[in-house]
């Protein structure tokens, strides 16, 4: 069921537009987010593809590179197989929307995951990638009005004697969509930009998400087992350290309907607080994150608290985290339920400013 579920992420809302996100196949790990130089945007793409191996193991799409408006090429994680194909460049304008070709899990047959990519330019031109043809084209993403500025890819490592798939999914970051930030000299740093991903649209609907602070790495996606769903949560929090280094929220755990608890990455500080559970028969459907924006030379804490609503229309479940920062807007209601979690946690900064948990994504099943 993994390819039928969608991400929602919670965090700070500034002046950027949110792009819809859905997920393709789910093997592999997310690489680094790679940005065009500040003030530049993507104007073209090229693909690294392994051609048909006959009866051998096919991996199809292995890498995606974006050409920036200053001529620089950027890539995130790239698979080991295949060769780079042709350059597909907008005659004018910038990349604004893309479409991924994906083969869903083939069970006992050879899996290829992502196969090809098309993108649209702001001048109305469509760039057709030279990848492979397994799977189907998914819907186009909504138009990114100010263009695409960065990308991040999910790539599976070589599986030895197993079935290799290489590139499984991609996320792009949209350029800022409002003028005031740019005019004020605000640096387009990653902690204020929004992700959108391209892939299968099956029985789920998309929840927009925005990103909080951007320190640390994304941990594994953890699902409730056996088609269970989230009915509650608890928080791991470090309370105020006075003049010391505060990290505030360190982890989020979801309680599944069968009684199991799931967590993604966790910070090392703090203790677990109390449980917050929906009324009997309820399930988590929407959440809101409290975030402290970057403090410059002062102490950063990043994410501070979480609260969620339940399908049973009972009272809001207010977490017992800390109070720095501000509450951001609620996500749109998930018609089904939240079934999985992924957190971004910064590793220990020896001698530096620690922030622990920075951001969270949930998966929603309709």
Q: What is the DSSP string of 239-302?
A: PP-TTS----EEEEEEEETTS-EEE----SSSEE---EEPPTT--EEEEEEEEPPP-TTS----
Whole-angstrom distance, CA of residue 40 vs CA of residue 47: 21
29 is written with which tokens? Answer: 């790990």
CB atoms within 10 A of CB 70: 11
Sequence-ordered list of residues with C-beta below 8 angstroms from that of 307, at least 6 positions apart, any chain: 287, 288, 290, 316, 317, 318, 319, 327
- CATH pick for 217-365 out of 2.130.10.10, 1.10.1040.10, 2.100.10.20, 3.40.50.10540: 2.100.10.20
Burial class (CB in 10 A: 0-12, 13-18, 19+), 297: exposed
Whole-angstrom distance, CA of residue 238 vs CA of residue 240: 7
The residue ranges of DSSP E strands in 51-113, in sequence order, are 61-68, 73-75, 83-84, 88-89, 95-102
What is residue 176's predicted lDDT score, i.e. its pLDDT? 64
Whole-angstrom distance, CA of residue 331 vs CA of residue 313: 16
What is residue 138's predicted lDDT score, i.e. its pLDDT? 85
355 is written with which tokens? Answer: 């922030």
What is residue 229's predicted lDDT score, i.e. its pLDDT? 94
Longest pairwise C-alpha distance within the chain: 64
**Closest by Cα among 345, 340, 287 to 311:** 287
In CATH, which superfamily holds the domain spanning 15-197? Answer: Vitelline membrane outer layer protein I (VOMI) (2.100.10.20)
Whole-angstrom distance, CA of residue 181 vs CA of residue 270: 35
What is residue 212's predicted lDDT score, i.e. its pLDDT? 58
Q: Distance between alpha carbon 288 and the CA centroid of its chain, in Å? A: 17
Q: Indicate if 217-365 has the same CATH topology as 15-197.
A: yes
pLDDT averaged per 10 residues, the chain (length 366): 37 34 67 86 97 95 97 96 97 94 89 95 96 90 84 92 93 62 30 35 31 78 90 97 96 97 97 96 93 90 95 88 89 82 93 94 79
Residue spans per domain, the chain: 15-197, 217-365
Sequence-ordered list of residues with C-beta below 8 angstroms from that of 299, at least 6 positions apart, any chain: 245, 246, 353
pTM of the model: 0.51
């Amino acid at each position: 069921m993994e390819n039928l579920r969608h991400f929602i992420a919670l965090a700070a809302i500034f002046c950027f537009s949110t792009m819809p996100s859905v997920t393709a196949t789910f093997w592999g790990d997310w690489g680094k987010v790679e940005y065009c130089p500040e003030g530049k945007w993507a104007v073209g793409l090229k693909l690294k593809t392994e051609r048909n191996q006959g009866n051998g193991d096919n991996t199809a799409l292995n890498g995606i590179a974006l050409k920036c408006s200053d001529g620089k090429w950027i890539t995130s994680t790239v698979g080991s197989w295949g060769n780079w194909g042709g350059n597909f460049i907008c005659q004018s304008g910038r990349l604004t929307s893309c479409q991924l070709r994906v083969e869903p899990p083939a069970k006992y047959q050879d899996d290829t995951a992502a196969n090809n990519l098309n993108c649209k330019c702001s001048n109305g031109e469509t760039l057709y990638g030279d990848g492979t043809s397994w799977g189907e084209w998914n819907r186009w993403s909504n138009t990114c009005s100010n263009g695409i500025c960065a990308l991040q890819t999910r790539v599976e490592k070589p599986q030895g004697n197993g079935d290799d798939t290489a590139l499984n999914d991609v996320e792009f970051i949209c350029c800022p969509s409002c003028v005031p930030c740019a005019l004020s000299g605000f640096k387009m740093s990653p902690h204020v930009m929004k992700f959108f991903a391209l892939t299968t649209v099956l029985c789920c609907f998309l929840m927009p998400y925005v990103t909080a602070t951007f320190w640390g790495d994304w941990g594994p996606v953890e699902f409730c087992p056996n088609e269970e769903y989230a009915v509650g949560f608890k928080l791991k929090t470090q309370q105020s350290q006075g003049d010391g280094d505060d990290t505030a929220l360190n982890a989020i755990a979801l309680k599944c309907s069968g009684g199991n608890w799931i967590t993604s990455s966790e910070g090392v500080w703090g203790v677990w607080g109390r449980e917050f559970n929906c009324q009997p028969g309820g399930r988590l459907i929407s959440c809101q994150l409290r975030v402290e924006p970057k403090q410059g030379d002062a102490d950063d804490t990043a994410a501070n608290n979480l609260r969620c609503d339940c399908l049973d229309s009972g009272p809001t479940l207010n977490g017992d985290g800390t109070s720095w920062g501000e509450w951001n807007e609620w996500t749109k209601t998930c018609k089904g339920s939240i079934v999985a979690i992924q957190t971004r946690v910064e590793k220990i900064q020896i001698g530096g400013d620690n922030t622990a948990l920075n951001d969270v994504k949930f998966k929603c099943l309709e």
